[in-house]
Amino acid sequence: MASGIVIIDKPSGWTSMDICAKTRGILKEKRVGHGGTLDPMATGVLPVFVGQATRAVEFAENGEKEYIAGLRLGLVTNTQDTSGETLETHPVTVDRAALEAVLPRFTGPIAQIPPMYSAIKINGQKLYDLARKGKEVERKPRNITIFELELLEQVSETDYLLRCRCSKGTYLRTLCHDLGQALGCGGTMFSLRRTMAAGYTLAEAVSLEDVQAQGEALLRPVESMFASYPLYTLSSPGKEARVRNGNPITVPELADGTYRVHGKNGEFLCLSCAENGTLTSIKNFFGA
């Protein structure tokens, strides 16, 4: 059965779940998940997990991501992007220097109020369902981190491209809206392209047409997601048996940290944490 990770360059107009459904049909595997939702208008890196590799989805969702976002000043919409209804328009008198001057205020740990048009649930109801009924409810600010925020290019008098590397839960639409508020003229997002997720980049991404043509040949091993962690190979059959049974083992030779663990035959067994000479599994991937 198909098992592994394929990095899709999501086209505009598709939901992340549309991509999963299409992949499910091509590879004839029911277990398919993605590593971090992209809005329909967004494009770019969408890691898709197939078969037993779906065990790793949680690690992709929680990781850092990088985007190129298009900011349009002078416009405010109900969705905080150009797919929504216009609420306000304002003349734009600020320049590139003014925008660059406010970027540091949105870098580092910040609190962000999620948009009404989002899948976040409050009292069991998705916010976008409430928004479509014309309702607005109070949303609590969420703590996020923007590690890097850079102005790449001024496209026109009102349009700019920003590069943003950020934590899980960051809404680039809201960032564009908040930047516009800080500049006093309003702002909205006119484009979004994800350039990195789960450590995978656009250079590694393929199209749905590629998946249709090449199928399982494009699947990467689940271990590829954890390539940044050092490798530890179990040379003792006894230790390998304990690991396969979900038990911690003694490893006085290992420094504290996270490791990829291989069996003696080279099979990727698990992602594990070493602490005070004891190695404990974080997640098992036998056969994934």
3-state SS of the chain is: CCCEEEEEEECCCCCHHHHHHHHHHHHCCCCEEECCCCCCCCEEEEEEEEHHHHHHHHHHHHCCEEEEEEEEECEEECCCECCCCEEEECCCCCCHHHHHHHHHHHCEEEEECCCCCCCCEECCEEHHHHHHCCCCCCCCCEEEEEEEEEEEEECCCCEEEEEEEECCCCCHHHHHHHHHHHHCCCEEEEEEEEEEECCEEHHHCECHHHHHHHHHHHCECHHHHHCCCCEEECCCHHHHHHHHCCCCEECCCCCCEEEEEECCCCCEEEEEEEECCEEEEEEECCCC
pLDDT digits (tens, 9 = 90+) for 137-162: 566 889 999 999 999 999 999 999 99
Rounded to an integer, the average pLDDT of 31-35 is: 94
Considering the four listed CATH numbers 1.50.10.10, 3.40.50.920, 3.30.479.30, 2.30.130.10, the one that applies to the domain covering 229-284 is 2.30.130.10
User: Topology of 65-197 in CATH?
Assistant: Pseudouridine synthase (3.30.2350)
Domain 4-63+199-224 indexed as CATH 3.30.2350.10: yes
**Predicted TM-score (pTM) above 0.75:** yes
pLDDT at 288: 46
**Is-same-fold flag (65-197; 229-284)?**
no
pLDDT by residue (tens digit) across 155-202? Answer: 999 999 999 999 998 999 999 999 999 999 999 999 999 999 999 999
Active site residue 39: yes
Catalytic, out of 39, 95, 129, 256? 39
Domain-by-domain residue ranges, the chain? 4-63+199-224, 65-197, 229-284
Assess whether pLDDT exceeds 60 at residue 236. yes
